[in-house]
Amino acid sequence: MKPLEINTEKAEGVTFVTVSGYITASERDDLDTALESLTDEHEKFIIVDLKDLELITSDGLGVLIRAHKAAVEYGGRFVLCGLKGNVLDVFRMTALDKVLQLYDSVDAAVNSAPA
């Protein structure tokens, strides 16, 4: 399995976070630190691209839920995109696909922004 990689880029009022590899208990803190820094800065629109994520455990889900909650509390948006395969199955089995905003692609997520 590919190790966790997190890349952040800002463009035109949107913060893009690309996550690849896998998120288990040992990688959770790296993702938590990266997302917490964005929510601490009150980034208005955070898009997390998970198209290259191979595995996520409950630890990783917890990090994403906390980041979503933090963003919503200050009036920001936190959305996920690119989920597929086993990762998408985990979101569906836990019903997080009903709680978090999921989009097929980065473009779809960007286009979901209110005008």
pLDDT surpasses 80 at 1: no
47/103 Cα distance (integer angstroms): 10
Note whether 1 and 35 are within 8 A (CB).
no
Tens digits of residue pLDDT in 61-86: 999 999 999 999 999 999 999 999 99
| Residue 14 domain-assigned (yes or no) | yes
- The model carries a pTM of 0.94
Domain that holds residue 63: 5-107
3-state secondary structure of 73: helix
Task: Flag whether 83 is in a domain.
Answer: yes
Q: How confident is the model over 87-104, as pLDDT tens digits?
A: 999 999 999 999 999 999
Q: In total, how many domains does the chain have? A: 1
CA angle 94, 96, 97 (to 5 degrees): 115
Residue 68 sits in a domain whose CATH number is: 3.30.750.24
The angle that helices 28-40 and 58-73 make with each other, rounded to 10 degrees, is: 0
Residue 113 lies in a domain: no
- Confidence at residue 37, expressed as pLDDT on a 0 to 100 scale: 96
Nearest-angstrom CA–CA distance, 92 and 15 = 25
pLDDT mean over 15-31: 94
Q: In the predicted model, what is the mean pLDDT of the chain?
A: 94
